[in-house]
Amino acid sequence: MNTAPESLQSVFDGAFAGISQVREAFTPKLTPREVGIITNVSTGIARVSGLPSVGFEELVKFPGDVFGIAFNVDEDEIGVVLLGEYADLHAGNEVERTGRVMDVAVGDGLLGRVIDPLGRPLDGKGPVDSSERLPIERPAAPIMDRAPVTVPLQTGLIVADALIPIGRGQRELILGDRQTGKTAIAIDTILNQRDKNVLCVYCAIGRRASAVAKVAANLRKKGGMDYTVVVVAEGNDAPGLSYIAPYAATSIAEHFMETGRDVLIVYDDLTQHAQAYRELSLLLRRPPGREAFPGDIFYIHSRMLERATHLSKERGGGSLTALPIIETEAQNISAYIPTNLISITDGQIYLSPSLFELGVLPAVDVGKSVSRVGGKAQRAAYRAVAGDLKLAYAQFEELETFARFGARLDDDTRKSIEHGRRIRACLKQSELTPVSVPAQIAVLLALTANLFDPVPLDRMTDANRAVQEAAAKISPEISARFETADKLSDEDRKAIIKIACQALAPFQPKPEAKPEAEQKTGKKSESAAKEGNKSEPKPDKSTPESETKPEQRTPPESKAEPKFERKPDAPTKPGSETEPETKVASKEKP
């Protein structure tokens, strides 16, 4: 009975002795924590004092889990770009340093998701599955780590793949006035990457929520969301989110590129990005320049697009292809921001509002569009069939403009214009319907062989569709050569042209119908002439032969174009043409 209390006492004594040893060994550490105070809150920015050791572009935390980026680091205060809802922030609130720069979640868990630039989900599918983060601002790959752009990125658009080829690792600008189909070209390109081992990142900057929802719905409907990440900064969000959105999207794409994959990124659009940066810079009292943009407006786009490249095999061989979109005003491509992007990128696709109004979709102006990589990023099969197509189309546009003045055209010019109209009809394409490589080659070969020329213009759409559907009959051996660097042989061309001829046979007018009608009319005219000769009285022997010959030798061509009939050089004698008839008639009366 007495041993139990003693043993319990010993347990307690041992426990308290251990606690006292831990307490004596513990030394409290004081961790310094910098806390600043908000002095002023404006539209999208805040001025903070009391953070002397903060670094440039360091992430700072505000009350309510609102973050910001230290943008202006002055001697007395810092200017912070806010990255979220700032309605509840007031002067006097505390601000903490985080000791890190702005970063974003990356990885395969983002595929099929819609997120904001901070990595927060917007599609209601729960938190994003990611275990790795990358800074949004990263240096571009060095020159020695890059490889030439040689592999094409098929857009599924005949006008782009044939005339303005884009390579994997290239930066191709898409510009045009508003509502001309710029986003449609980018979405068609994303949809065409299905089953081509290319991942896509679509970055919406300052766009309406309804427009972004429509894009996401189209991608889900066509199966494009399986390999796409959508990064969204809506128009009613803070300007800071619109500013960091393309950088965050580029870091997400770079992670895939560094693992050896091919990636396509679309910036829609950088006009809103430049305007958001101008707004932030003016609010932070940075000196304005041309069109009130700050002096480093060129640099914010160049350092971002410089990250799009094709890595060498030692770095994994991945590629990042960029399709930035720019909106022009009144077709002014020489404005400040468009010229900046034109000089940064490797080519541009210009969309003309006049072509859009005429129903030529996609409304690509071939004369103002160019790819500075060009044929090096194009398959040999395309180069063979589309080599002279751009020149012929450009000549057609010039001749069409000239023909509008009512000029008299010769037969060759008429044929060039008719052929150019067939080219334009074949380059038309509906939205969300990318065309496969064999179908494009079949259409282009049929164009170069002038197989579409006899087809009426009102039936060109059906004829073009028939050739594309008939391309499925091309043998697998020939289709396999489309994807390689091998050129098409003469046998391959003949086989494809034969298939195209069979598809176009129902659309061509029958050549036998017109000659038969002409033969019938010719027989009728001959019989009428014979009857007329029988009824007419024979001229009298006294009438000279010179009086009857002019009537028999009058050519029928003079009736078709009486205006250009030349008068005979020698003056006609009286009674040579009209008098024989009167004389004959006077002899008949008695």
Q: How many whole angstroms separate alpha carbon 279 and alpha carbon 299?
A: 16
Distance between CA atoms of residues 191 and 177, nearest Å: 23
Candidates 372, 421, 553, 566; catalytic one = 372
Q: Which residue from 340, 313, 319, 312 is spatially nearest to 328, judged by alpha carbons?
A: 340
Is 169 within 8 Å of 372 (Cβ atoms)? no
Token pair 């960091």 in the structure block, residue: 244
- Following DSSP, what letter does each residue of 131-200 receive, concatenated? SEEEESS-PPPPGGGB----SB---S-HHHHHHS--BTT-B-EEEESTTSSHHHHHHHHHHTTTTTTEEE
The helix, strand and coil proportions of the chain, stated in percent and rounded to the nearest 5, come to 45, 15, 35
CA distance 466 to 519: 34
Chain center to CA of 198:
17
Other C-beta atoms lying within 10 Å of the C-beta of residue 147: 16
Report the C-alpha gap between 217 and 222 in whole angstroms.
9
**Angle separating helix axes 209-221 and 182-191, nearest 10 degrees:** 30
372 catalytic per annotation: yes
CA dist 335 and 224 (Å) reads 34
Positions marked catalytic:
372
